[in-house]
Structure 1
Amino acid sequence: MRDVSDRRLKAVVFVVAFAGYTAAGYWLQVRQGFLLGDALSRTAAAQGVLFSREPHLAAIGFIFTPLTAMVQLPLVALASWWPDITARAFAGTVMSAAFMAGASVQILSMGNDRGLPRRYTLLITALFACHPMIVFYGSNGMSEAPFVFFLIWAVRRLTMWMVDDDVHHLIAAGAVAMGLAYLTRYDAAACVAAVGVLVGATTYLRAREGPRLKRALLDVVLVSGPGIAAVLGWAAASWLITGEALAQFSSQYGNAAILEQSGGGAANIVAGLGYSGVCLLLLAPTLVPLLGCAAVTGLRRPTRQMLLPPILIFGAALAFQTLTYATGGTFPFLRFYIVAVPFAACMALLVVPDGVLRTPTRRGRHAPDIPPPEAVPSYRAGLVAAVLFAVCLPVAGWGMSLPAYAPQEFALAAVLRPDPDDTSPRKEEQRRIAATFATERELAQYLDGLGLPPSSVITDTMYGFAVVVASRKPKTFVVPSDRDFVKLLNTPSASGIRYLLAVPNTGRGTADALNLRYPTLYDTGSDVATLELEIPNSGAYQPDYRLYRVNEPVPVPG
C-alpha cells in the first residue's frame, strides 16, 4: 500500500509541477517574448535536424552537448502547425518543465526512501519547486533543468546505495544519470569523477576480505564507465564530423572564443572566487548552516554515510564551476550555480532522523547493519531545517534582481513589473533584454514575405540562428551545418544566393563566417553585394543587421 500511495503522490507532484512550469514558460516566452539565447539556439539546433536544407542529425551541432536539443525533436516536428514551438522556443519550455518536474519528484522520493514524515517531505519538495531560480529555469528551455534532474537522481540513488549496497542503485546513478548528465552539461565530468571516487573508496573499505581492489574497480567501472563513455563518445563524434574533439573549447563558436571576443570572464582568481561565493549565498544563503545541522544530527546516526553523496556530487559541480570561472573559462552567470538549491534541499531532508528505510530490490552482501529507527523519533530539527531552507526563496528572488550577479535574470522585472513611465537606464536595459530576438522575428517575417525559393539567403548561425528559427521557411537559409555552405559562400552570385545577412565585423562578429570570407561585407558589400536593408536591433547585446542583395554575375564578353 505504501508503494501505491507513493506512486500516486509522485504522479500528482509531477503533473502539478509540470503544468506550473509549462504555464510559466508559455506566459514568459510565447506571450511576453522573453527568451534566453542558449534556449533558443538549442531549439534552432533541433529545427536544423528536421527542417534545414539538408536535414541530418549532425546539424544538432557540437558546441553544446546534445540531449537538450534531441529531447525537443518530437515537439519541433509539429512546428508547421504552431510556429511558436520553434520561433518562441516553446519546445524548450516543455523540455525544461518535464525535467524540473522530475527533479521535484526526485526530492520527494529522497524523503520517501528514508521513510520521513510525508508532510515534511512535501514541504521541502514544495519549497524546492517554488524556488525562484527553479521556477525560472524549469520554464525557459535552458539546460539547467535536465542537469539538476540527473544530479538529484544520482544523489538519491547513491544515498540509498550507501546503506543497502543494492547494485540497482549503481546502475541507475552511473549507467543512466551520470552518462545523461554529461550529455546535458560539460560540468557533469567533475561529478562523474566524484562518483567514481566515492563508490570506489566505499566498496574498497566495505570489502574486508577477498579481492578488495578488484571489487572496487568493478564498481567504479559500473558507476563511472557510462559517464566516461559519454565523454569519449561525444568527443569522438565531434572530431570525426568537425575535426574538433572539444568544440566548446576550441571552436570559433565555443566559450573560449566568445570570452576572448567579448572580453568576459573573471578579472583574476580572487575576484572569480569572490563572485562565485556571492552567487552561492544568493541562491542558497543557508546552505552552510544546513550542512552544519545535517552533520550534527546525521553523524550520530548509523546511516551517517548518507551525507557523502550530496556533498561530493553537488560539491563537485559547484567546485568545477567556481574554478572554471575563477580561471577565466566561463561567464559570470548566476544560473551556473543553480545546483546549490537542490544541495540545500537534500541537506534539509538529511537533517531529519530516519524512518523505516525503503526495502532494497537486492540488498548487497556488504551493506552495513542498520538498527531499526527509534519508536518515536524527534523531528524538531526538521522545523529548523525547513525554516532555513525557506529563507533561500526570498533571498534568491532578491538576488535575481541584481544585474552584477544576475545579468540575465534581472531583466524579468521588465515583464513582471512593467512601468512605462520609468525611463531610468536600468529599466531601459531591462526592456532591451526582454525584447531580445524581437528584431530577429520581424526580420524572419520580412524574408518569409519575399517569397524566396530555398537556398536564397546565406547567414552564419552565430547570430543568425535567431532569424532562421523564427522563419516559417527555414529551407530558405544556407547555414554552416549545410555541406555546401563554403561552396555557396565563395560563389554566391553563381550559386543562386540572393541575399547575404551580415553582422558587424567586431566583437563576436569577427568569427562570423561571412566576415571571415568577406571582411568588409558589413561596411561595403565587398564588391559582391549591394545594401538593400539595414535593421537596427531593439534587443540587448544583439547586432544591427544589414541585408545585402547579391550582385548579378558579370557576363563574360564574346
Structure 2
Amino acid sequence: MRLRLLSDRQCKWLVYVTMVTAYLAVGYWLQVRNGFILGDALSRVQASESVLYSRDPHLAAIGFIFTPLTAMLEIPVMLLSPFFPDLTARGFAGSVMSAVFMAGAVVQIFATGSDRGLPRAYTVTITALFALNPMIVFYGSNGMSEAPFIFFMTWAVRRLILWMTDDDVHHLVAAGGIALGLAYLTRYDAVGTVAAAGLLVGATTYLRAREAPRIRRALLDLLLVSLPGAAAFVGWAATSWLITGDAFGQFSSQYGNSAILKQSGGAAATSFTGGLAFAAVCITLLAPTLLPIALWAGVARRHSPHRGVLAVPVLMYGAVLAFQTYTFATGATFPFLRFYIAAIPLASTLAMLAVPEGRLTEPKRRGRHAPPTAAAAPYRSRVGYVAVAMLAAVAVPVAARGMMSPHYAPQEYALGAVLSPDPDSVSPQKAVERRIVATFSTEREIAKYLDSLDLPDSSVITDTVYGFAVVVASENPQIFVVPSDPDFVELLNDPSAHGIKYLLSVPPSGRGASDALNQRYPTLYDTGSDVATLELEIPNDGDSQPDWRLYRVHDPVNPMA
C-alpha cells in the first residue's frame, strides 16, 4: 500500500509498530544474544525487580539516585520475568521499555511534519533519518533513560509548536501538564527545559495579548506549562529527603555522580573551556548540519506569521544541551556522547520547520490570540525539500563514525566488537571492546553459583554499587540482602546472629570505597575482618568491573567453622 493513500492516523500506527518491532529486535540481538548491556540500564532493571521480587518488596526499593520513572515503567514488564528470565538477567525488560518510548518519539517527529501539512514523502524521509540514526537505534533498544526522555521532549515540543500556531490551551495542558512533568521524572536534564518553556510561553502570551491584564494572562500561561514540572521537582526531592535524608541523591549521595567521579579518579572536564569544547564536538558529531538547517529555517520563515515557532525547539532542546554542557564543564558529570542526544531531535524538528508548509492541522479550540493562518502556496518547489533532507541525511554516517570514538563515545564504541567481531585480533582496542561486551558475564556466573547452593532467603549481603548485576541475574533474588531493605544495616552489623551465610565483597578502592560492606568492615576484602572466611575469589572478565571475593560468615556457635 502506498503511504500517500494512508491517513495520518494510519501512518502513525504503521510507523509506531514498525519501529517498536525494529528496536525490540535490536535490543534482543544486543543484550540477549551478545550480552552487550550498559550498567545504568541493568541497575534500573534490578531496581524494578526489587519492587516485586526482593526479600522485602516495596516501591521505595526503586531507589533515589536516578529519577524514578524509567525504572517504574519497567515494573509491568517484570511481571513476565518468571516466564522469561532474560527480562532480568539480560536486562531485556529495559529494551522493551526503550523500544516502546523511542518508537513514540519517532511518531512525534512524524506528527510534527504532518501537523504542518508537509508532503508525505518529505515527512517520511525526515522521520526515517531520525528513527534510523544509529544513536537513536542504540538508545531505542538498550534500556537507558534516553528513550522516554526523548519521547516526552518531542511530545512537549510538538504541542508547543501547535500552541504557537493556534493558541489552543489544550496544547499547553499536554506539553506542561503531562509531558514536561514526566520528562523531569525521567531525567534531571528537564529542569532547564521546564524553565525555558515557562519563559517562552509567558513572553509569547504577554506579547500577543494587546489588552489588559497582559501580565496576569502571561503568568497564568506560564504556570500552566511549568507548574507541573516544578511540582515534580519539589515532590521528588521531598520524597527522596523523607525516605533517604538526601533531597538530591544524584548529586549528594555516596552513590551519585559527584561521588562516582571522585571515586574513579575524575573523568570530568580538565577545564571549563575544555568541557565546552568537548560538548561542542559531541553536538557536532550527532547533528553536524544543525547550524545550516537552523539558518535555512530562519531565512525561510522570516516573513511567515508563524516564524516564532522556531523558538520552541531551539529553546527547549537548547536548554537540555546547555544543562549538559554546563554540568560537564564544571566537573559534575561524565564525558558521554549520549548526554547530547537532544541535538538529534532538535535537528529533525528544525528540518520539519525549514520548508514551506501546507494546510495546518485544525485546532480543537483556536485561541483568541492565534496569529493569522498563512495560505498554503499553490506551488512548492522540490528544491528546498531535497536540500534540507540532504543536510539532515549527513547526520547518519557522521553519528555512526562518532560512536566509534573511544574518547567521545566511551559507552558506544565497543559496538565494534559486536558489529564486526574479530576474535583473532590482538590490537589493544579490540581487546578492550571484547572486555566491554563481556561486562557482567562474571556476575552472571556468580549468581549461577549462588543459586546452585540452594540457599534460604536472606543468606547473602551485597551492596548494589556493583552487586546489582549479581542480584538481577539470580533466579532467587530473595536470598540477597541489599541496601534498599529496611533491615540492611541491622543485618550487616551482626551478620552471624541473623543467619547470614555469605558476604559478597569488592575491593575498597574506586567506586568500591562507597560499598556499604567496605565502610562497615574496612578490611573485609583483604582479611574477612574477623567476621568471615574467604571461600571464593572470582577474577572479573568485564571492563572496569571488580574482582569479587565471597566470604563465608562465621558460625555463631562455632566461630572457626
TM (normalized to structure 1)?
0.98
Match of 1:171 in 2: 173
Q: 3-state DSSP class of the match of 1:533?
A: strand
Selected match of 2:251 from 249, 252, 276: 249
Q: Note the 1:265-304 alignment, pairs <5 A.
A: 265-304=268-307
Which one-letter code corresponds to 2:190 in the other structure?
A
CA shift at 1:475, angstroms?
0.2
Selected match of 1:338 from 322, 336, 341: 341
Selected match of 2:61 from 59, 62, 65: 59
Which one-letter code corresponds to 1:230 in the other structure?
A
Match of 1:30 in 2: 32
Which one-letter code corresponds to 1:471 in the other structure?
S
With over 3 angstroms needed to count, the CA separation of the structure-2 counterparts of 1:305 and 1:200, relative to structure 1, is same
Q: Note the 1:297-446 alignment, pairs <5 A.
A: 297-446=300-449
- Is the contact made by 2:304 and 2:374 (CA closer than 8 Å) also made in structure 1? no
Selected match of 1:211 from 201, 204, 213: 213
- Is the contact made by 2:290 and 2:347 (CA closer than 8 Å) also made in structure 1? yes
Q: Note the 1:20-99 alignment, pairs <5 A.
A: 20-99=22-101
Q: 3-state DSSP class of the match of 1:548?
A: strand
Which one-letter code corresponds to 2:462 in the other structure?
T
- Is the contact made by 2:115 and 2:360 (CA closer than 8 Å) also made in structure 1? yes
- Is the contact made by 1:96 and 1:140 (CA closer than 8 Å) also made in structure 2? yes
1:101 equivalent in alignment to 2:103: yes
Q: Tell me the distance in 2 between the aligned counterparts of 1:90 and 1:275.
A: 32
Q: Pairwise CA RMSD of aligned residues?
A: 1.2
Which one-letter code corresponds to 2:499 in the other structure?
G
CA shift at 1:175, angstroms?
0.5
CA shift at 1:304, angstroms?
0.6
- Is the contact made by 1:352 and 1:379 (CA closer than 8 Å) also made in structure 2? no
- Is the contact made by 1:96 and 1:139 (CA closer than 8 Å) also made in structure 2? yes
Q: Tell me the distance in 2 between the aligned counterparts of 1:206 and 1:252.
A: 49
CA shift at 1:554, angstroms?
5.0
After superposition, what is the alpha-carbon deviation per residue over 1:65-89, rounded to whole angstroms, capped at 9, x for unaligned? 1111111111111111111001111
Unaligned runs of 5+ in 1: none
Aligned residues: 555
CA shift at 1:414, angstroms?
0.6
After superposition, what is the alpha-carbon deviation per residue over 1:198-225, rounded to whole angstroms, capped at 9, x for unaligned? 0000001111102111111101111001
CA shift at 1:372, angstroms?
1.3
- Is the contact made by 2:263 and 2:510 (CA closer than 8 Å) also made in structure 1? yes
Unaligned runs of 5+ in 2: none
- Is the contact made by 1:13 and 1:105 (CA closer than 8 Å) also made in structure 2? yes
With over 3 angstroms needed to count, the CA separation of the structure-2 counterparts of 1:3 and 1:187, relative to structure 1, is farther
Which one-letter code corresponds to 2:73 in the other structure?
V
Selected match of 2:229 from 227, 232, 235: 227
- Is the contact made by 2:321 and 2:342 (CA closer than 8 Å) also made in structure 1? yes
Selected match of 1:512 from 510, 515, 535: 515
Q: Tell me the distance in 2 between the aligned counterparts of 1:4 and 1:428.
A: 49
Q: Tell me the distance in 2 between the aligned counterparts of 1:378 and 1:241.
A: 60
Q: Tell me the distance in 2 between the aligned counterparts of 1:215 and 1:4.
A: 41
- Is the contact made by 1:353 and 1:379 (CA closer than 8 Å) also made in structure 2? no
Match of 2:132 in 1: 130
After superposition, what is the alpha-carbon deviation per residue over 1:299-354, rounded to whole angstroms, capped at 9, x for unaligned? 22221111010000010000100011000010000000001001110111111111
Q: 3-state DSSP class of the match of 2:210?
A: coil
1:469 equivalent in alignment to 2:472: yes
Q: Tell me the distance in 1 between the aligned counterparts of 2:123 and 2:5.
A: 16
1:533 equivalent in alignment to 2:536: yes
Moved over 6 A (4+): none
Which one-letter code corresponds to 2:62 in the other structure?
I
After superposition, what is the alpha-carbon deviation per residue over 1:141-184, rounded to whole angstroms, capped at 9, x for unaligned? 00001111111111111011111000010011000110000010
Q: Tell me the distance in 1 between the aligned counterparts of 2:481 and 2:5.
A: 54
Q: Tell me the distance in 2 between the aligned counterparts of 1:4 and 1:16.
A: 15
Which segment is superposed worse, 367-376 or 338-347? 367-376
CA shift at 1:555, angstroms?
6.3
Which one-letter code corresponds to 2:119 in the other structure?
P
Q: Tell me the distance in 2 between the aligned counterparts of 1:331 and 1:368.
A: 43
